[in-house]
Amino acid sequence: HVTFEYCDQMVADFEKAIKHPIREKSSVYYTGVDLGTACVVIAVLDENRRPVAGAYRYADVVRDGMVVDYIGAVQIVRELKEEIEEKLGTELIYAAGAIPPGTDLLDSGAVKNVIQGAGFELTNLLDESTAANEVLKMKNGAVVDIGGGTTGISVLKDGKVVYIADEPTGGTHFSLVISGAYGKSFEEAELYKREEKNHRELMPVLQPVIEKVSSIISQHIKDFDVQELSLVGGTCCLTGIEDVIQKRTGVFTHKPKNPMFVTPLGIALSC
């Protein structure tokens, strides 16, 4: 699929830039701040809008798209900002942020305050799926964001979001299923799930809940001309989830090499 070449290249370059920041001089830097339930990610692009640095941290400051630990969120964003500034040898000034599609203005205020509180000048605030599609570049498809608490489906027509839905099934349910099947506590199940080496073994256990997610997707896209799906969000890190979803929905399903990096890169592009 030609559509996703740009995305795959950006994600690959970003992964490299996180490990080895590119210190070449740039007249301006564009920063994207993504506050997720599992992870806070910062992506930095140079004047040519190529990834030059980034950082992320697993954190518990946002739940279901809402900032639940404001001070903690500001602190993490500030620390990640300083860490990158050190590596690049420059100050980061401008940043953009994103909010889950359909979030009301009150919640977007919290995201805005976190980014400004961390010392950035906020240049843009957009919805997460529009941000993701800056990188995915789908014309007629859907962004499927499987997070912690929910699965978000954003249908694109001619590259624009025309329909959004958010259903309360996500990674938390995956962890609950593992907890039940293995007799582990929720926290243990959550950590077990994040280990890539356990994914193959977990697949049969998780199959029913992935099928449930697939049927939710099918239900929401049925009235649209959706030619491709792209998976983002932490839960899509699960090895093989894309195969089950593609088989069940019958729609070509793309999974970026790291589904947690698409949205922050898109946010940075919109900066």
Considering the complex, state which of residue 141 and residue 171 has its C-beta at the smaller distance from ligand ATP.
171
Sorted by sequence, the CB contacts under 8 Å of residue 255 that are 6+ apart come out as: 230, 231, 236, 241, 242
Q: Which residues bind ligand ATP (CB under 6 A)?
A: 36-39, 62, 64-65, 145, 147-150, 170-172, 190, 193-194, 233-235, 237-238
Shortest Å distance, C-beta 202 to ligand ATP: 9
Considering the complex, state which of residue 54 and residue 171 has its C-beta at the smaller distance from ligand ATP.
171
Sorted by sequence, the CB contacts under 8 Å of residue 12 that are 6+ apart come out as: 257
Phi, psi for 123 (deg, rounded to 5):
-105, -20
Phi, psi for 40 (deg, rounded to 5):
-100, 125
Shortest Å distance, C-beta 136 to ligand ATP: 15
Shortest Å distance, C-beta 206 to ligand ATP: 10
| Residue 2 CA to its chain's centroid (Å) | 21
Considering the complex, state which of residue 119 and residue 149 has its C-beta at the smaller distance from ligand ATP.
149
Considering the complex, state which of residue 227 and residue 239 has its C-beta at the smaller distance from ligand ATP.
239
Shortest Å distance, C-beta 62 to ligand ATP: 6
Determine contact, residues 83/39, Cβ cutoff 8 Å.
no
Determine contact, residues 264/15, Cβ cutoff 8 Å.
no
Phi, psi for 236 (deg, rounded to 5):
-75, -5
Shortest Å distance, C-beta 128 to ligand ATP: 8
Considering the complex, state which of residue 40 and residue 52 has its C-beta at the smaller distance from ligand ATP.
40
